[in-house]
Amino acid sequence: MASITKTILLIAGQALWVPGLFAAQSTVQDARKFLEDAEQRLLVLANEAQQASWVQENFITSDTEALAALANQRATDEQVRLAKEAKRFDGLTLPPDLARKMRLLRIGFTLATPADPKESEEVSRLAAELDGMYGKGKYCPPALASSDKKCLDIGDITRIMAASSNPGELLDAWKGWHAIAPPMRKDFTRFVELSNKGARELGFRDTGAMWRSKYDMPPDDFAKEVDRLWAQVRPLYLSLHAYVRNRLREKYGDAVVPANGPIPADLLGNIWAQDWSNIYPSVAPPGADPGYDLTRILVDRKTQPTDMVRYGEGFFKSLGFAPLPPTFWERSLFVKPRDRDVVCHASAWDVDNLEDLRIKMCIDITAEDFTTVHHELGHNFYQRAYSKQPFLFRDSANDGVHEAIGDTIALSVTPEYLVKIGLLDRAPDSSKDIGLLLKRALEKVAFLPFGLMIDQWRWRVFSGEIPPDKYNQAWWDLRMKYQGIAPPVERSELDFDPGAKYHVAANVPYTRYFLSFIMQFQFHRALARAAGCPVAGSGTPLSRCSIYGSKEAGEKLNRMLEMGLSRPWQEALYEMTGERDLDASAILDYFAPLQKWLDEQNKGKPVGW
């Protein structure tokens, strides 16, 4: 047997090495050559997929959708093929950089297709169909059912949930959107089965374990880490929940909102009750006034969309980053075209994985979009910072860090920053902070348990702990446990409420968002210290700090960004913060004044559910 140098197994028409056999016959040089070839191939396919996706989102037709799907499928199929072939190097001792690349190659996707060609085609088709069912979802109220043109898509539903305070209208919209999901249940169940099969062929227990393996620690340890972080922030969430529940009870009455139970899911300004900022006018402190209206300031100055982006670029230039390339301004989309439909959801692009940076955003002249521009450019500057790394390292330290960087920058859009760039004459005094902090908490703190429970549900589904006949019950059990949220009407297994959330239908892991909300505050606190800002305990709120203009903060930020995915995320975290563990105490520092105020408001009232 020692004389046999290769053993080949044909799987789905591909020549693959038999996993675990004859690894001793492979050398480090073999592994290096394999990875060099893999990176070159994947770079070409990734760029093709990016270009196709850019065209598809900017010129939406059935043809561009088909071309984008084909390009993405080619890239995914090749990555799965290479991941399986990489198993021939199991047992070979590799230098740290090659070992990391080999590992990343095998965990760098969210769907591992089974080796069987028919099953591979089936699971890919199911993934596309589930995504399409969500994208085409519409609620047609009975009075409008005769005309599809009057049916309500997710944009219409979102606007109703954000603006209405009519309980009947909110309930109708909530039920209507959730009615799009039951047809997904059968396909989703089969998708889970096939997805798990592909993950097991790569050596994982199930798809959930494969997802959790991306975090430079054993999958079960990562699950415990997430629970630890939630335990840190749960008391703050409980205080916010109790305050909001009491204010909504005053608004809607005891018959709608109980004094000491969960909050009905349709009353929080968002179809999934994941972001409560739209109900701020209903729960704002009496006489709350931020002291300025950024939207009005921008409009009065006749600010243009490109001006908004120039403000964002100026923020990074103030930290010492080089300007964006000329092609950014030539190729980005800043304004919704009049002659065609485009995907207006704000996004940042690195089309050639090198220097072709772009954003795609239909910019409105609002305070919200001013902040969003800063967030999206955070992605672009991160992409350029790690572009000198080998291809497999051209990504964020983990999948939550990319989002965290964008939001970290957005946390520096403070009144003090607006003064420095000439949009405000002077910052309002700190007496205005409770309203500002409450509005931000309704966005950030309210999201945390939702960001956690989505994958708590999916991990259990993938593992089999939640069987198909308990999908909906388990969903609402977890929402009750983590969020203190209840369905506004009775639900059953005839419903499939998880499918009413895009990331479930589209198979997008969600724990990244929970992590990003933890990390952005930890990053902000560290950069604030580097910038010489006052921090918690100094008498000046952390929420008033902007790192704008600090070269010291910029250097610290850039050192981490340049690392990309080349080192475990714990080392990237240390580069930024001097800490090797995630720490949610930064959120508590940031919202400390609000926590004190909430506790005063909640005195004598029930907390929890």
Residue 245, pLDDT > 50, answer yes
Q: Determine the pLDDT at residue 144.
A: 52
* 3-class secondary structure per residue, 273-287: CCCCHHHHHHHCCCC
Host domain of residue 89? 8-93
Phi-psi region of 295 (alpha: psi -120 to 50; beta: other; left: phi over 0): alpha
Helix locations, 421-550, DSSP H:
433-463, 471-483, 502-505, 511-530
pLDDT band, very low/low/confident/very high, at 4 (cuts 50, 70, 90): very low
Partners of residue 333 on adjacent β-strands: 360
The arithmetic mean of pLDDT across residues 388-394, rounded, is 96
Q: Determine the pLDDT at residue 117.
A: 86
Query: Which residue's structure tokens are 């700090």?
Result: 545
Count structural domains, the chain.
Answer: 3
405 & 342 share domain: yes
79 & 134 share domain: no
306 & 367 share domain: yes
270 & 298 share domain: no
Residue 12, pLDDT > 50, answer no
pLDDT band, very low/low/confident/very high, at 46 (cuts 50, 70, 90): very high
CA distance 330 to 351: 14
Q: What is the pTM of this model?
A: 0.87
Q: Determine the pLDDT at residue 10.
A: 31
Residue 275, pLDDT > 50, answer yes
- Residue 9 per-residue DSSP state: E
Determine contact, residues 577/526, Cβ cutoff 8 Å. Answer: yes
Whether 211 is covered by a domain: the verdict is no
301 & 247 share domain: no
174 & 237 share domain: yes
Structure tokens at 135: 């994208």
Note the pLDDT tens digit of each residue in 176-220.
Answer: 999 999 999 999 999 999 999 999 988 899 999 999 999 999 999
Give percent above pLDDT 90 in the chain. 67
500-525: string of b/e by CB count within 10 Å (b at 16+)? bbebbbebebbbbbbbbbbbbbbbbb
Note the pLDDT tens digit of each residue in 462-505.
Answer: 999 999 999 999 999 999 999 999 999 999 999 999 999 988 99
Tell me the torsion sign for CA atoms 160, 166, 172, 177.
positive
How far CA 18 is from CA of 37, 76, 141, in Å, comes to: 20, 21, 56
Of the two residues 419 and 291, the one the predictor is more confident about is 419
pLDDT band, very low/low/confident/very high, at 534 (cuts 50, 70, 90): low
398 & 464 share domain: no
Q: Determine the pLDDT at residue 158.
A: 86
518 & 445 share domain: no
376 & 476 share domain: no
Name the average pLDDT for the chain: 89
**Residue that finishes a domain, picked among 471, 489, 509:** 509
Note the pLDDT tens digit of each residue in 315-352.
Answer: 999 999 999 999 999 999 999 888 887 777 788 999 99
Note the pLDDT tens digit of each residue in 574-607.
Answer: 999 999 999 999 999 999 999 999 999 999 999 9
412 & 466 share domain: no
Q: Determine the pLDDT at residue 202.
A: 85
Exposed / middle / buried, residue 149 (Cβ in 10 Å: 0-12, 13-18, 19+): exposed
pLDDT band, very low/low/confident/very high, at 436 (cuts 50, 70, 90): confident
Structure tokens at 466: 């939640």
Residue 539, pLDDT > 60, answer no
Note the pLDDT tens digit of each residue in 55-83.
Answer: 988 888 888 888 888 888 788 889 888 98
416 & 557 share domain: yes
Whether 396 is covered by a domain: the verdict is yes
